[in-house]
Structure 1
Amino acid sequence: MSEQTESTDIKKKILSTGIRVGTPVKTKFMTPFITKASPEGLYMLDIDITLEKIKIAAKFINRLGTDKLIVCSARQYANTPIEKFCEMLGSKKLLGRFMPGTLTNPSLPYYIEPKLVLISDPQVDVQAITEATNAGIPVIGISNTDNITSKLDVIIPANNRGRKALATVYWLLVRQILIERGELKEDEPMKYEIDDFETKITEEEIE
Structure 2
Amino acid sequence: MAKKKADAEEVKEELKGKDAKNSKENFGSTESENEQDSVALEKAAEKESLKTEKPLDIEKKKKELLEKAKKLKEKISSEGPTTKELKEQIKLKKRADMLIPLDEYVKAGIYLGTKVVTPDMRAFVYRRRADGLAIFNTDLIDEKLKEGIEYLSKFAPEDVILVCKRQVGWKAAEMFSRLTGIRVFTKKYPAGILTNTQLPDFFENELTIVTDSWLDRNALNDTLNVRKKVLMICDTNNFSKGTDQIIIGNNKNSRSLGVIFYLLAKGYCKAKKIEADIPDLDWWTAEED
TM-score scaled by length of structure 2: 0.63
Greater percentage in helix = 2
Aligned residue in 2 for 1:134: 225
Aligned position for 1:92: 183
The DSSP-based 3-state class of the residue aligned with 2:247 is: strand
Give the corresponding residue for 1:78.
169
Task: Give deviations 1:129-153, integer Å, cap 9, x for gaps.
Answer: 1000011111111111011221211
Q: 1:70 to 1:130 in 2, by over 3 A?
A: same
Question: Is the Cα contact below 8 Å between 1:139 and 1:154 reproduced in 2?
Answer: yes
2:241 aligned to which of 116, 138, 150:
150
SS at match of 1:70: strand
Please state how far the C-alpha of 1:117 moved relative to its aligned partner.
0.5
Runs (5+) with no aligned partner, structure 2 = 1-92
Task: Please identify, of 53-62 and 75-84, the stretch whose mean Cα deviation from structure 2 is larger.
Answer: 53-62
Quickly say closer, same or farther: Cα 1:6–1:149, change in 2 above 3 A: closer
From the superposition, tell whether residues 199 and 8 of structure 1 become closer, same or farther in structure 2 (CA, over 3 Å).
Answer: closer
- Secondary structure at the aligned position of 2:224 is classed as helix
RMSD of equivalent CA atoms: 2.2
The answer to whether the 8 Å contact 1:167/1:195 transfers is: no
- The CA deviation at 1:65 is 1.6
One of 147, 156, 180 as aligned partner of 1:65? 156
Q: CA deviation at 1:199?
A: 7.5
Query: What amino acid sits opposite 2:188 in the alignment?
Result: R
Match for residue 102 of structure 1 among 181, 188, 193: 193
1:97 deviation in Å? 1.9
Please name the residue that 2:280 is paired with.
193
CA displacement at 1:177 relative to structure 2: 2.1
Structure 1 runs not aligned, ≥5 long: 185-189, 203-207
Shift of 1:193: 2.1
Greater RCO (CA < 8 Å, at least 6 residues apart) = 1
What is the distance in 2 between the residues matched to 1:86 and 1:136?
23
Aligned counterpart for 1:36 among listed residues 118, 127, 131? 127
Amino acid across the alignment from 1:146: N
Structure 1-normalised TM-score?
0.86
Alpha-carbon contact 2:234-2:246 (below 8 Å) kept: yes
Answer yes or no: is the 8 Å Cα contact 2:179–2:278 preserved in 1.
Answer: no
Could you tell me the percent identity over the aligned residues?
23
Per-residue Cα deviation, 1:22-74 (whole angstroms, up to 9, x for no partner)? 00110001101111112322101112212111122212211112232100111
Structure 2 vs 1, CA of residues 21 and 114 (structure 1 numbering), >3 Å: closer, same or farther?
same
Provide, for residues 164-205 of structure 1, a one-character-per-residue CA deviation record: whole Å limited to 9, x for no partner. 111111111112223434669xxxxx7312332347444xxx
How many residues in Structure 1 have an aligned counterpart in Structure 2?
196
Q: In structure 1, what is the Cα distance between the partners aligned to 2:163 and 2:147?
A: 19
Aligned residue number for residue 205 of structure 1? none
The question of whether the paired residues in 2 share the 8 Å contact of 1:123 and 1:148 is answered with no
